[in-house]
Amino acid sequence: MLDVESLRSCFPALGRAVDGRLPVFLDGPGGTQVPQSVADAVSRYLTTSNANHGGAFRTSRLSDEVCHAAHAACADLLHAPSPDEIVFGQNMTSLTFHLSRALGRTWKTGDEVLLTRLDHDANVSPWVLAARDAGAVVRFADFRPEDCTLDLDDLRRRLTPRTRLVAVTCASNAVGSIPDVAAVTRLAHEAGALVFLDAVHYAPHGVIDVRGWGCDFLACSAYKFFGPHVGVLWGRRGLLESLPAYKVRPASESPPDRWMTGTQNHEGLAGVLAAVDYLADLGGTEATRRHRLVRGMTAVRDHEADLCRRLLRGLAERPRFRVWGVTQPERVGERTPTVALTDRHRRPRELAVYLAEREIYAWDGNFYAVNVTERLGLEERGGLLRLGLVHYNTAAEVDRLLAALDELP
């Protein structure tokens, strides 16, 4: 069980009052706040070991140690077999474009790529463009509008022997739905396709297990799990070794170096390491880091489930709002605590402005999940208001939100 009040003290932003009121951060799906340990790690790197890679001198050696440790930490976070399978980059979007360019070179005219309408566009456009360049066909699996869950039957029907890649989200950043990615992976592999998972939105909410899920690639972003702006890509070693990487000539032919273009954001990697260690600390002080991460993220999931049930029940009592996605409190295991809604009287932007005036921070729009808002018929109406709970949020903050909505004219 999480000691939420204690862990909140680790986040400086949560205690900074504005006009006598503490902000309620419900903007986590767009980027979480960071604990002091992450900020300290970035600062410490810049003041004690700021150097480029591979030098014979002390600061370069210290810098390389930090970077190697960040690879090991992310391997534990994702349950990757080796730190050498972890690739860092500018962000998930850039890494996905990089990988899609390489994978696209292995496709030919008539090959197929299967995407979903539940995904962020960062897991759509890179594959659409790579397919276009290769002459491959793009197909889309639908989701059920009534609860915004992925339609596995539709996905199964769209798989063919020509499918080369299936790309799917681990959790919708717009409506919170969590697809059964292990089932998707089994279906894709039976058809002979590779699987790419977008875990950007899922990462702060649950245990990631690339071995258990059986996928071939997975990407996430540290700024969504309490770290700095750094993208993380995992890939099976054999694929990282065999795919045609775009790189400069002196770069190593071995992963991960052959996939990491240019000088990395070393101070950012120091922050990534600290963010993973923060999450591991939520699981106690004994056992391996991976075991502590599993315990910590399980506790996070339990706390967030309680908050999500509280919010869903509260919104159900306020019929002017419609929640999109899984709405039954007993089904919170099928979603993250990211709750998207519309109001019969006001547009999402008006709601976001109203809440912001009361120091309650929430996003509005489509959040780059354009296929979701288009499929729901909401794009021209301004999309959705997104209320994103994470583990540092509290029941009192949920109640404050609901009270503010009650005062909405």
The pLDDT value given to residue 247: 84
- Phi, psi for 100 (deg, rounded to 5): -65, -35
Low-confidence ranges of the chain (pLDDT < 50): none
The pLDDT value given to residue 324: 98
The pLDDT value given to residue 286: 86
Architecture of the domain whose range is 41-279 = 3-Layer(aba) Sandwich (3.40)
The pLDDT value given to residue 116: 98
The pLDDT value given to residue 251: 73
The pLDDT value given to residue 396: 98
The pLDDT value given to residue 254: 85
Q: Where are the domains of the chain?
A: 4-34+290-404, 41-279
The pLDDT value given to residue 1: 84
Architecture of the domain whose range is 4-34+290-404 = Alpha-Beta Complex (3.90)
What does the pLDDT look like over 147-158, one tens digit per residue? 999 999 999 999
